[in-house]
Amino acid sequence: MQANTIKYKQLRAKYVWFAYEDFSWEETSGELRVRYHFNLSGQFHFYPKLVFRKKDFLNWPVDKNILDNLLFHLGMIELISYWKATCSPELIIKPLYLCKKQISWWKKLYFHGLGEFFYLNGIETDLDGFVNLKSTSSKKLKSFDFPLNNKVLVPIGGGKDSVVTLELLKEHFEVVPFILNPRGASIETTKVAGFPEDKVISVQRFLDKKLLELNDKGFLNGHTPFSAMLAFVGLITATLGGFKHIALSNEASANEATEMESGVNHQYSKSFEFEEDFRWYVKEYISPELNYFSFLRPLSELQIAKLFSGFPKYFPVFKSCNVGSKTDSWCGACPKCLFVNIILSPFVSEKQRIEIFGKDLFGDMDLKGYLDELTGISDVKPFECVGTLNEVNIALSAFINKYGDNKLPSLLDYHKNQKSFNDYGEGGLKQELLGFESNHCLSGEFLNILKQKTLEG
């Protein structure tokens, strides 16, 4: 960490400014191609791209000012992947005007969205000092009203959460799955859900390879708020496709800090705080017609796991392991695999669970360190999208109590002798399944669907 701290100071001194130069878009017969231009102190230029398939969209062509508004804002979140390579002290926004409120909003998102990046790189900074963000353009774009239908766009990542959202909403609304950079699990999820390829919207995002070259040379690297990127891509997709609603699948547990002392949260851009901030920003500066919200926000990971267990047809295809994402597999050796294994354990059979992961993770003592992180024995949770300490301990206690006096797998036998096991009684799971978080942005029609399904269980 000390080396990275020194590197951080050296890079900021060498690359003193980073500029969002411009963005452009062009139409072909079947695609909308978007390109951004970012400039690192005149020494490196980056040109990331996105491709939208025009056949997916009802509202095409769209007014240039509307498209410029949407694409400009997408560039504001795209740039963070490139700025972080040097953390240049000055960030210059050239394409369009940002007022003081907007600048404050973006600085908050960048700072907290990069909380894990700062923490793991040993960078000590604060909200005021980490960057001077300034807008040099006088060109203003107003928020827009646009005719949208009462349809729901559901982003699909390939994990259990988006499956639950998709299954519960498709019974009541016209729903279309949306995938950013399709991969095996996300594609297979939509197939199992009954959506043919031409009824699934997909968007391709292409990083500039020069960024990867800089990473290989030792420039700063780390986690960025990907869910915020997904949010802005979702706005474009919803507007062009005529969708009023964008239903995410972020749960209540995303609000819990990963590192308790500092408050750093790996899932910041999945948190309720970000959701509220984002909704405000969209209403003020983009369009009041768009309804971005998380459908699963009132639920815990345990409630979602219970609902997911009712859809066994997805067991062979769902994946949420980052290590195994390129091979569309569960690696079976990371904290995300262990967490999903734990949270499903009270609700699926042992045979099903072993078939999902390819082995019994509870018999692998190499995962003990991750178990300590997930249960709170260690001071820091895994930097992954995992549930709360409370949810993990309740799931483990509920599963161990099923065994009675039978011999436990080694990892469970270890956990049973920890203080955290004794702190959770047998009734914890039942009580947890009855809970319903009050902090959410669901309107009545969506809330009623979720309450009905939760109470059915």
pLDDT digits (tens, 9 = 90+) for 279-298: 999 999 999 999 999 999 99
Tell me which of 404 and 153 has the higher pLDDT. Answer: 153
Q: Is the pLDDT of residue 457 over 70?
A: no
Specify the pLDDT at position 364.
Answer: 95
DSSP 132-191: EEEE-------------EEEEEEE--SSHHHHHHHHHHTTTS-EEEEEES--HHHHHHHH
Handedness of CA 105, 232, 110, 87 (dihedral sign): negative
Helix H segments across 298-439? 301-308, 335-344, 350-357, 368-375, 389-403, 410-416, 419-422, 428-433
Specify the pLDDT at position 2.
Answer: 64
Mean residue pLDDT of the chain comes to 93
Specify the pLDDT at position 147.
Answer: 86
pLDDT band at 309 (very low <50, low <70, confident <90, very high): very high
Give the DSSP H/E element, type plus range, for residue 37: strand 31-40
- Cα–Cα distance between 373 and 383 in angstroms, integer? 10
- Cα–Cα distance between 355 and 350 in angstroms, integer? 9
- Cα–Cα distance between 19 and 74 in angstroms, integer? 15
Specify the pLDDT at position 426.
Answer: 59
**Is residue 444 exposed (0-12), middle (13-18) or buried (19+ Cβ within 10 Å)?**
exposed
Give CA separation, 114 vs 80, 176, 199, 273, 344, in Å: 9, 31, 35, 15, 30
Tell me which of 4 and 201 has the higher pLDDT. Answer: 201
Specify the pLDDT at position 260.
Answer: 84
Specify the pLDDT at position 425.
Answer: 59
pLDDT band at 37 (very low <50, low <70, confident <90, very high): very high
Write the pLDDT tens digit of every residue in 155-190.
Answer: 999 999 999 999 999 999 999 999 999 999 999 999
Quick check: helix, strand or coil at residue 244? Answer: strand
pTM summary value: 0.95
The Cα angle at residue 226 between residues 296 and 23, in degrees rounded to 5: 125
Specify the pLDDT at position 236.
Answer: 95
Specify the pLDDT at position 5.
Answer: 82
Give the pair of three-digit tokens for residue 196: 């043919």
- Cα–Cα distance between 264 and 87 in angstroms, integer? 18
* Mean pLDDT value of segment 307-323: 96
Specify the pLDDT at position 385.
Answer: 92
Specify the pLDDT at position 233.
Answer: 97
Give me the residues paired with residue 49 across strands.
35, 206
Give the pair of three-digit tokens for residue 435: 């809970």
The CA R_g of the chain, rounded to the nearest whole Å, is: 22
* Mean pLDDT value of segment 247-251: 96
* Mean pLDDT value of segment 20-27: 96
Specify the pLDDT at position 454.
Answer: 81
* Mean pLDDT value of segment 293-321: 96
Give CA separation, 121 vs 274, 299, 382, in Å: 23, 33, 16
